[in-house]
């Protein structure tokens, strides 16, 4: 019995199967990595602005970020919640610093004052 070439065919089949698995994982992991990246940048920007505000205004009680909530399927909304209510005059400052932090990452472009476009989705930032 002549089985020449059987190893080559098996190798091509195994390589094809591995390629399908890798591409499947990459298509799922890409959007999740982007979402984690923007969530982290939003938290970092909001935290930095809280530090700035409390440094210049000592009458403000210490405030921390309690939650960063991501909702939506295609277009995502990122809501940043704090341990204390934020005065309305400070919300634009926090939003501005948060947007700067997000835009420092190369994969995001600004659409308007609270929305950015990633490679996969649009993200709207809300300061609660």
d(CA 65, CA 81): 6
Cα 40-104-110 angle, rounded to 5 deg: 95
Sheet holding 109-112, edge to edge: 65-71, 76-82, 122-127, 115-117, 109-112
Task: State the pTM of this model.
Answer: 0.80
Give SS3 for 25: helix
d(CA 37, CA 54): 26
pLDDT at residue 7 above 90? no
pLDDT of residue 71: 95
What mean pLDDT do residues 19-29 have? 87
Q: Which residue has the higher pLDDT, 5 or 58?
A: 58
pLDDT of residue 2: 56
Q: Taking all residues of the chain, what is their mean pLDDT, rounded to a whole number?
A: 89
What mean pLDDT do residues 34-62 have? 90
Element (H, E) at 122: strand 122-127
What mean pLDDT do residues 25-47 have? 90
pLDDT of residue 107: 84
Question: What letter would DSSP give residue 120?
Answer: S
What mean pLDDT do residues 110-128 have? 93
pLDDT at residue 6 above 80? no
Query: How many other CB atoms sit within 10 Å of the CB of residue 94?
Result: 24
Rounded percentage of the chain residues whose pLDDT exceeds 70? 95
- Can you say how many angstroms the Cα of residue 75 is from the centroid of all Cα atoms in its chain? 12
């Amino acid at each position: 019995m002549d089985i020449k070439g059987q190893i080559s065919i098996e190798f091509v089949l195994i390589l094809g199967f591995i390629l399908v698995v890798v591409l499947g994982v990459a298509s799922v992991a890409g959007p999740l990595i982007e979402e984690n990246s923007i969530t982290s940048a939003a938290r970092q920007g909001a935290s930095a602005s809280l530090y700035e505000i409390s440094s210049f205004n000592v009458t403000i009680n210490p405030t921390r970020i309690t939650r960063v909530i991501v909702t939506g399927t295609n277009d995502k909304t990122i809501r940043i919640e704090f341990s204390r209510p934020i005065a309305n005059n400070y919300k634009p400052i926090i939003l501005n610093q948060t947007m700067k932090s997000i835009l420092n990452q190369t994969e995001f472009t600004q659409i308007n004052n609270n929305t950015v476009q990633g490679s996969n989705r649009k993200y709207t930032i809300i300061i609660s």
